[in-house]
Amino acid sequence: MIPVTCQNIQCKHYLKEKGKDIIKYGKNRAGHQLYKCLHCNHFFTETKLTPIYRKRLSEEEITRISKLLVEKNGIRSIERITGHHRDTIGRLLEDMAEHAQQVNQTLLRNLNLTQYEMDELWVTVKKNRRKLSVTAQLQLKKVTSTSIQR
What global pTM score does this model have? 0.62
Q: What is the arithmetic mean of pLDDT over 36-49?
A: 83
The pLDDT > 70 percentage for the chain reads: 87
According to DSSP, residue 6 is labeled B
Would the pLDDT of 128 be above 70? no
Closest residue by Cα to residue 81 from 72, 68, 92, 91: 68
Predicted pLDDT at 150? 42
The H-or-E segment that residue 62 falls in is helix 59-70
The reported pLDDT for the residue numbered 83 is 93
Whole-number pLDDT of residue 49: 66
What are the sequence ranges of the domains in the chain?
Answer: 1-49, 59-143
Mean predicted lDDT score pLDDT of the chain: 79
Please write the tens of the pLDDT for every residue from 74-116: 889 999 999 999 888 888 888 888 777 777 777 777 777 777 7
User: Rounded to the nearest 5°, which phi and psi values hold at 80?
Assistant: -65, -40
Which stretch of 17-21, 57-61, 144-148 has the lowest confidence by average pLDDT? Answer: 144-148
Give dist(CA 57, CA 49) in Å, integer.
16
Confidence class of residue 147 from pLDDT cuts 50, 70 and 90? very low
